[in-house]
Amino acid sequence: MNILVTLCGRGGSKGIPGKNIKELNGIPLLAYSIKHAKDFANAHPNVDILLSTDDKAIKDVAFSLGLETEYVRPDYLANDTVGKIDVLKDAIKFQENKNQKKYDILLDLDITSPLRTQNDLEEGLKKLLADERAINLFSVSKPHKNPYFNVVEDADNGYCKLVCPSDTRSRQTAPQVFDMNASFYFYRRIFFENGCKSAITERSLYYVMDHICFDLDEPLDFDMMEYLLANNKLGMTL
């Protein structure tokens, strides 16, 4: 089984400028995902790692951390309106042409959501491989809000309504939902061959993380993660 691990990061982040290489607890954010990718590769045969970026500074930091790549993300895939799936399709095409082999599984590690463990990745892969019909799997977390109970949207009459109307009267009795935390995604080759446009398909699985995990979108997110790491509040080793 051939596996490609991808790390994708643009240079033009708007919420947190330069966030992919911004220091988090003393090391570049990118370093966490490079370590996770290398640890995963060391635990499995036939694993390659590819960095997808349009930014020289990100490539230089990756090189200093022991990850070199010849791939340069095309300009048309380097803006904030492009979907991640298109970025991954171009990356796997490049790597397959370069190495002259086909990848059975693609594992995408999101640089800006690094709160993952090797056990998360191993259990996620095991769950995907156990279901022959499943074409992908992504990580999720238990949510703080529930669209059946306390998440609203605009109604046509100018007022508001529940996103998912229900008779639920408590969070505990509401249907179980999960937050996609963007930390990692496993894709079988057939996912791309079928032309899927979204990570959510009729044959998708999820893996529930049993620890805190969140994406870095705003400066406050960075400060919160910095505090958790610096003060050993996570209860796990990244």
Where along the chain do its domains lie?
A: 3-142+178-230, 143-177
Q: What radius of gyration do the chain's Cα atoms show?
A: 19
Q: Which residues are CB-contacts of 207 (< 8 A; sequence separation ≥ 6)?
A: 120, 123, 124, 127, 137, 138, 139, 140
Instruction: Please report the pLDDT score of residue 167 as a whole number.
Output: 84
Report the C-alpha gap between 76 and 74 in whole angstroms. Answer: 5
Q: Which pLDDT score is estimated for 78?
A: 87
Over 90: is that where the pLDDT of 68 sits? yes
State residue 82's pLDDT score. Answer: 86
Given a contact cutoff of 8 angstroms between Cβ atoms, the answer to whether 157 and 194 are in contact is no
Between these two residues, 166 and 132, which has the higher pLDDT value?
A: 132
**Residues 20-25, mean pLDDT to the nearest whole number:** 95
How far apart, in whole angstroms, are the C-alpha atoms of residue 176 and residue 141?
11
Is the predicted pLDDT of residue 152 greater than 80, yes or no? yes
DSSP assignment of 34-93: HHHHHHHHHHSSSEEEEEE-S-HHHHHHHHHTT--------GGGSSTTS-HHHHHHHHHH
Question: Amino acid letter at 8?
Answer: C
d(CA 238, CA 97): 33
pLDDT of amino acid 12:
73
Number of other residues whose CB lies within 10 A of the CB of residue 89? 18
User: What's the predicted TM-score (pTM) here?
Assistant: 0.93
Contact 108, 8 (CB under 8 A): yes
- Residue 113 near residue 183, CB atoms below 8 Å: yes
Q: What percent of the chain has pLDDT over 90?
A: 80
pLDDT band at 17 (very low <50, low <70, confident <90, very high): confident
d(CA 220, CA 16): 10
What mean pLDDT comes out for the span 149-176?
90
| Cα 174 to the center of its chain, rounded Å | 27
Among 8-12, 20-24, 68-72, 121-125, name the one with the lowest average pLDDT: 8-12
Average per-residue pLDDT in the chain?
Answer: 94
Q: Give the pLDDT mean for 70-98.
A: 92
Residue 237: pLDDT over 80: no
**Is pLDDT at 218 greater than 80 in this prediction?**
yes
Q: Which fold has domain 3-142+178-230?
A: Spore Coat Polysaccharide Biosynthesis Protein SpsA; Chain A (3.90.550)
When pLDDT is averaged across residues 219-233 and rounded to a whole number, the result is: 93
Q: What is the pLDDT of residue 173?
A: 86
Query: Residue 13: its pLDDT value, please?
Result: 74
Highest mean pLDDT out of 91-100, 143-152, 168-177: 91-100
